[in-house]
Amino acid sequence: MKVSIIGAGNVGAACAQRLAEAGVGEIVLVDIIPALAQGKALDILESAPLVGFSGKLIGTSTYQETASSDLVIITSGASRKPGMDRLDLLRLNKSITTEVAGKVAEFSPNAIIIMVTNPVEAMTYLAQGITGWERERVIGLSGLLDGARFSAFVAQELGTSPSEVKTWVLGEHGEGMVVLSRLTTVSGRPLEEMLPPERISQLIERTRNGGAEIVELLKSASASVAPSAAVFRMAESILYDKKEVMTASFYLKGEYGIKDSILSVPLKLGRKGVEGVIELDLNSAEKDALVKAAAKVNQTLTSI
């Protein structure tokens, strides 16, 4: 198995470390900043005797070493800063993603892409268009990360283990996020039996602004630990053909009654990429929220 990670910033380097420690055989870390990827790769490699992994890990500033990758994780681009909105990021990252997707298609035409660069729906759409690949091979990070944030906040509120919280987060990775609190359980019990509606709404709003909250705290950086963990879970299911169901951004062709938009929905991820879309039984309010999320995302897509 060969994985290439484009972008050696905090998220990219953390992804490389998680994958190396999981035993992925060959990892290539790429960044256009001279020596950055090489330095990050060397730092991770020097932890191998302590952690116990033995795969190949290299850093580079060119794409030749990425040739014939099975999976490519794209994290390159500007990160969000205080005061920036998602359209600001779109303007900054459009040209970067265009170039990166073209290089990925050239050197690894049979790969699967996990898009991390924000705004993720727009960048996933752009990457699919640039590569010309079928939709099953271009997937964006979103709902899995948002669900983890919501689960963490619920667990903190109730004083329980985060692993006991099961939830689904659909829609946009942003204001159009659709947190399915009705289907959220804690140790098998419905969340709506454990917290009052107003408190659940507050936790949903915090989740919706989860990335911005971290940006405001860090000032000069954005979230990296939780995003890298979510990317790792997606990559693991793909590389090892685990066929786990997790929410991620995907181009819809009628699923959930939505056509020609990219939204986070439950996907079965395996060696072929997306191997199925799981359609949850939504109520009318949830369906309406998802349709509104699609309309909001489509406004962004028209800016590409």
Burial class (CB in 10 A: 0-12, 13-18, 19+), 76: buried
Confirm if 168 and 247 have CB atoms less than 8 A apart.
Answer: yes
173 is annotated as an active-site residue = yes
State yes or no: cis peptide before 197, omega within 30 of 0.
no
Of 2, 103, 173, 208, the catalytic one is 173
C-alpha closest to that of 56 among 70, 41, 69: 41
Q: What does each C-alpha distance from 262 to 32, 179, 280 come to in angstroms?
A: 29, 17, 17
C-alpha closest to that of 169 among 189, 154, 187, 188: 154
Which residue numbers are catalytic?
173
